[in-house]
Amino acid sequence: MKKLLSILFVLLAFIQSAYAQSSALKPYQKGDWKTVTKSYAGQPIVIHFWGVTCSPCAKEMPLWGKFLSQNKNAKIIFIQVDDVPSESASKMLTVANVNPVGNYTLASPFDDALRYEIDPKWRGETPMTLLIDKNGKVIRKTGSMDFEKLKQWYAIGA
């Protein structure tokens, strides 16, 4: 019985560790912008910048989850820009039915150099979304997303 309990304990610890690793957000830092965008070259991608402490971001996050569940082929990357523990961001995404895997949270404070790398005109306001079509043309949307327009953007082939 003792041996069975020990095995069960080890198994549960392993499962918990695997779950924690699979739900972890990737650290986003200076220099990552080119890597992120290059990996999606030639295909439409949406990159959404948000923050755990941003009230409009929190309000609309479940709508992102709903959009993703209804548009399975949509490629959307979420980058969390607040100085908060990654667990907080991961939990917020999970509650909104957005899988944290493949998404990002800042590894260091969100400074001017990091923002400039993404968009020289951006001052860091959230939520902010970049729609990048298959030809690399960028549309910047500051504020809450109009999900009908986003659906149309994907429908026309982005």
Q: How far apart are CA 52 and CA 107, in angstroms?
A: 15
CATH class of 26-155: alpha beta
pLDDT for 27-76, tens place per residue?
A: 999 999 999 999 999 999 999 999 999 999 999 999 999 999 999 999 99
Please give the residue that has the higher pLDDT: either 62 or 14.
Answer: 62
Identify residue 108 by its one-letter amino acid code: S
Contact criterion met (CB below 8 Å) for 80 and 52 = yes
User: Higher model confidence: residue 120 or residue 12?
Assistant: 120
Instruction: Return the SS3 of 70.
Output: helix
pTM over 0.95: no
Query: Is there a contact between 25 and 104 (Cβ–Cβ < 8 Å)?
Result: yes
Residue 23 has pLDDT above 80, yes or no: no
Q: Measured on CA atoms in the order 136, 108, 92, 62, is the torsion positive or negative?
A: negative
Based on DSSP, count helices (H) and strands (E) in the chain, helices before strands.
Answer: 6, 6
* Residues sharing a CB contact under 8 Å with residue 62, sequence separation 6 or more, in sequence order: 95, 96, 97
Dump pLDDT digits (tens) for 124-154. Answer: 999 999 999 999 999 999 999 999 999 999 9
| Phi, psi of 132, rounded to the nearest 5 degrees | -115, 115
Residues 76-103 have pLDDT tens digits of: 999 999 999 999 999 999 999 999 999 9
Alpha carbon distance 157, 37 (integer Å):
18
Identify the pLDDT of residue 20. Answer: 42
Strand order, beta sheet including 76-80? 26-28, 104-106, 76-80, 45-50, 128-132, 138-142
Domain parsing of the chain, residue ranges: 26-155
Query: Residue 14: CB partners within 8 Å, gap ≥ 6?
Result: none
